[in-house]
């Protein structure tokens, strides 16, 4: 009986705890939000800045372990955020041990993985010689990364005539919970002119910047722009794709809009009768069937998706170049 109880206790200790969001790794308890543990090769003094602007210090003994909850990488330096708000720059005195990414991920119910290394921009080969570019706080889950046998985030991509294996450093990845407040596939409408972002955090700017430079590219979406929810909310941002487009390959990467800038539409709502200004080709939004709509034709205007107007015509929903339709 005692042996049975001991075995049960051991299984409890090494198993996952959904109540405490904790687990045992490397001989110590780890908790949700923790990225690793830090120790020092000799006694050192560490500092933190309090809310009043004053600095507080603490002496850390050699070999004493601290949980690390966040890692910052910028200006070719690495910084560890320890317990209780202490921040330490990586040096020959620091000894950091990263928790395997898969182990960290299991502490989350519905994890979202974000790229947080500001020292570099990650380029992942995509198709037709193009690249998906990820910079600070880019959302990685849409890039088809999977865990390999070693518990690393891995993606096999085709580059030229060969397969290339991309493996991510776990310390370059921040994990947070998704909050799916809008169901996947729901129609989202932009309430007023508002920016769309490549990243769900650290936006801070609305001027267009090249993504390849490692910044958060933004684009201003006009009022009545239509989007599709991906069923994910990270921070204050909803993950979306364009509502519809003739070039679907171009829009595989997730975009983000601020929750206060959009609203959910149970169905498309008419914004009035508009008129086709010149005879133009229209593409059906659902299946890419094409037709010609003559100049002067009256259509129901629903909104826009990228450079296209979403219209109702002859009982179906179509996309036509936005410049070819007007309210009068």
CB 317 within 8 A of CB 288: no
Q: How far is CA 28 from the centre of its chain?
A: 30
Note down pLDDT in tens along the chain; length 328 residues. 433 333 343 333 333 334 347 889 988 899 999 999 999 999 999 988 888 888 899 999 998 999 999 898 888 899 999 888 899 999 999 999 999 999 999 999 888 888 888 777 676 666 555 666 666 777 777 667 888 888 888 888 777 788 888 888 889 898 988 887 888 889 999 999 988 887 776 544 333 333 333 344 567 888 999 998 988 888 888 988 878 765 543 445 678 889 999 999 988 999 999 999 999 999 987 677 899 999 999 999 999 987 899 999 999 999 999 999 999 8
Three-class SS of residue 214? coil
204: left (phi over 0), alpha (psi -120 to 50) or beta: left
Q: What does the alpha-carbon distance between residue 81 and residue 38 come to, in Å, rounded to a whole number?
A: 10
- DSSP H or E segment with residue 280: strand 280-284
* DSSP type of residue 99: P
Fold of the CATH domain 187-265: SH3 type barrels. (2.30.30)
Other residues' Cβ atoms within 10 Å of the Cβ of residue 17:
14
Domain with CATH 2.30.30.40 in the chain: 273-326
Q: How far is CA 109 from the centre of its chain?
A: 16
Give which of 23, 45, 36, 22 is closest to 83, Cα–Cα: 36
Q: What does the alpha-carbon distance between residue 201 and residue 235 come to, in Å, rounded to a whole number?
A: 7
For domain 273-326, give its CATH number from 3.40.50.720, 3.40.50.300, 2.30.30.40, 3.40.980.10.
2.30.30.40
Q: What is the DSSP string of 148-180?
A: -TTS-EEEEEEETTEEEEEE--GGGEEEEE---
């Amino acid at each position: 009986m005692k042996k049975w109880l001991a075995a049960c206790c051991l299984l409890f200790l090494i198993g996952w705890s959904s109540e405490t969001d904790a687990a045992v790794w490397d001989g110590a308890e780890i908790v949700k939000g923790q990225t690793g543990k830090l120790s020092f090769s000799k006694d050192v003094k560490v500092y933190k800045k309090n809310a009043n602007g004053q600095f507080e210090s603490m002496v850390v003994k050699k070999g004493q372990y601290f949980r690390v909850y966040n890692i910052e990488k910028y200006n070719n330096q690495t910084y560890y955020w320890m317990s209780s708000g202490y921040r330490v720059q990586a040096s020959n005195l620091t000894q950091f041990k990263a928790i395997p990414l898969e182990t960290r991920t299991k502490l989350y119910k519905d994890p979202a993985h974000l790229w947080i290394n500001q020292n570099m921009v990650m380029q992942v080969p995509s198709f037709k010689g193009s690249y998906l570019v990820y910079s600070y706080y880019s959302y990685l889950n849409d890039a088809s990364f999977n865990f390999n046998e070693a518990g690393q985030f891995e993606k096999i991509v085709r580059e030229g005539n060969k397969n290339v294996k991309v493996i991510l450093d776990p310390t370059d990845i921040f994990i947070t919970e998704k909050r799916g407040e809008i169901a996947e596939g729901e129609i989202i409408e932009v309430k007023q002119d508002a920016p769309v972002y490549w990243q769900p955090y650290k936006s801070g700017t609305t001027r267009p910047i090249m993504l390849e430079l490692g910044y958060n590219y933004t684009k201003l979406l006009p009022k009545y722009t239509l989007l599709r929810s991906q069923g994910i909310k990270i921070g204050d941002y909803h993950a979306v794709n364009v509502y519809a487009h003739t070039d679907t390959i171009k829009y595989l990467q997730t975009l983000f809009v601020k929750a206060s800038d959009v609203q959910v539409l149970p169905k498309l709502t008419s914004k009035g009768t508009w008129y086709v200004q010149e005879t133009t080709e229209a593409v059906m939004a659902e299946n890419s069937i094409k037709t010609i709509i003559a100049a002067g034709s009256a259509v129901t205007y629903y909104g826009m998706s990228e450079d296209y107007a979403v219209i109702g015509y002859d009982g179906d929903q179509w996309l036509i170049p936005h410049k070819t339709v007007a309210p009068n």
